A = this chain, B = another copy of it.
Amino acid sequence: MSLFLTTVSVEEAIRAARTLATPLPSEELPLSAAYGRILAADIRADIDIPGFNRSSVDGYAVRSRDTAGASETMPAILGLSGHVAMGDSGYRNLLPDRCLYVPTGGAVPDGADAVVMVEHTESIGGDILVKKPAATGDNVVARGEDFRAGSVILSGGTRISPREIAALAATGTTTVPVVTRPRVGIVSTGNELIPVEDIPSGNQVRDSNSWMCGAFLIEQGCIPEYYGITGDDRTLLREVLGKALSRCNAVIVSGGSSKDDRDMTADLIREAGEVLVHGIALTPGKPTIIGRANGIPVLGLPGHPASAFVVLLVIARPLLSRMTGQKDQELVTKSFVLGENIPSARGREDYVRVRISEGKVYPEFGKSGLVNTLIRSDGLSRVPSGVEGLEEGDRVEVILW
């Protein structure tokens, strides 16, 4: 039991966390329930989409060669052979020097290779005057141009957004293979913690971290399971942790803020497995535990709310994405000019809560034990481990909330 943790770099910690995670099996869901999930397999187009040459405008289907040289003053004169109705299944054949009216989305008839927009034509009697030459393919979406039958349209590991839903629907994927959602247990330790519904007395503190953690897990596509507060009773923690380990795919121990709580957590993980990391060169977030117990990953979070949040973002996120098979996604950041120096020490990564004001970014140097800096700030800025801080005027990347 040492007072000073042996810290590893953020990179090493992420690597350790990811080695513990096992990809989860897949399940099949109806299209209506697939939004937000991770594709478990590549999806292929069942047929050519569209299945026919489709007009992308309201206009006249023509043989482009019949419009060569057409102009306002010398229009091409084409005989109108009729209208293609929407949803029409019959393919007519377009004869030379003739045209067919096709609405947007309608089928371009055989023989035609372009559609002239209504705006560039004039109707006179049974004839259509075309005032602009058309080139092959003009205003036509060719059969299979959207998706070719048999081609991979979406690859496994893709998060399903509304745009992927559109592609799944277009290719008739009514049953979608997705990765099952990780069930993640949340165990709270810390003698000072009380349930949120209670009124703290003395130096008690409401257990807000496990709720923050649960919401974060939902956001990451997991199912949180709350196992309550164990205080600092080692026997009780062992029992509750055991229950969580037997039912979940991963367990997060939301730590009390004292060192004793953390040591107890590490000891109990060791009893059922191993501790890979105890201490990360990360501020806030140093006293983090990464281990494996009963074969599944266990993450011990620091007790300070801001520290816990940074560890969820920096360590838990890549661990969970390995379980769901989600393709690695960089956190989206936005670049700003720094309005004030941010001191840091070489050799550790700092995540500083920041405020944006008039287009500049300012550090919000609140104590990491406060919840208010998490909701008063606009995002996080990372100070890489190789530098001794950032200076006013530097450009910094901000992970916006």
Binding site for B on A (CB under 8 A): 3, 31-32, 35-36, 46-47, 49-52, 54, 56, 58, 84-91, 103-107, 118-119, 141, 145-147, 153-154, 160-174, 190-193, 196-209, 211-216, 218-219, 226, 231-232, 256-261, 303-305, 309, 312, 332-335, 367-372, 374-375, 400-401
Evaluate contact between B146 and A370: CB separation under 8 angstroms: yes
**Whole-angstrom distance between the alpha carbons of A154 and B119 in the complex?**
55
**Whole-angstrom distance between the alpha carbons of A193 and B106 in the complex?**
11
CB-defined contacts of A258 to chain B, threshold 8 Å = 58, 86, 103-106
Evaluate contact between B86 and A166: CB separation under 8 angstroms: no
Evaluate contact between A105 and B303: CB separation under 8 angstroms: yes
Evaluate contact between A211 and B165: CB separation under 8 angstroms: yes
Evaluate contact between A191 and B86: CB separation under 8 angstroms: yes
Closest to A305 in B: B166
Evaluate contact between A174 and B197: CB separation under 8 angstroms: yes
Known: A56-B367, A103-B258. A332 touches B400 (CB 8 A): yes
Evaluate contact between B89 and A201: CB separation under 8 angstroms: yes
Chain B CB within 10 Å, residue with most, of A145, A153, A193, A372: A372
CB-defined contacts of A216 to chain B, threshold 8 Å = 162
18 further A-B contacts with Cβ under 8 Å, apart from A89-B201, A146-B369, are A3-B119, A50-B203, A52-B202, A86-B192, A86-B256, A87-B192, A87-B203, A105-B205, A107-B203, A161-B219, A163-B401, A165-B208, A165-B215, A167-B374, A169-B212, A173-B196, A174-B197, A332-B332
CB-defined contacts of A206 to chain B, threshold 8 Å = 49, 169-172
**Whole-angstrom distance between the alpha carbons of A89 and B199 in the complex?**
13
Evaluate contact between B163 and A370: CB separation under 8 angstroms: no
**Whole-angstrom distance between the alpha carbons of A166 and B212 in the complex?**
5
Evaluate contact between B371 and A203: CB separation under 8 angstroms: no
Copies in the complex: 2
Q: Classify the secondary structure of A's interface with B.
A: loop
CB-defined contacts of A146 to chain B, threshold 8 Å = 369-372
Evaluate contact between A166 and B209: CB separation under 8 angstroms: yes
Evaluate contact between B199 and A172: CB separation under 8 angstroms: yes
Closest to A287 in B: B104
Q: How distant is A254 from chain B, measured CB to nearest CB, in Å?
A: 11
CB-defined contacts of A192 to chain B, threshold 8 Å = 86-87, 105-106
Known: A87-B202, A163-B309, A401-B163. A369 touches B141 (CB 8 A): yes
CB-defined contacts of A375 to chain B, threshold 8 Å = 153-154, 163-164, 166-167
Chain B CB within 10 Å, residue with most, of A147, A193, A215, A216: A215
CB-defined contacts of A171 to chain B, threshold 8 Å = 206
Evaluate contact between B309 and A153: CB separation under 8 angstroms: no
**Whole-angstrom distance between the alpha carbons of A164 and B215 in the complex?**
9
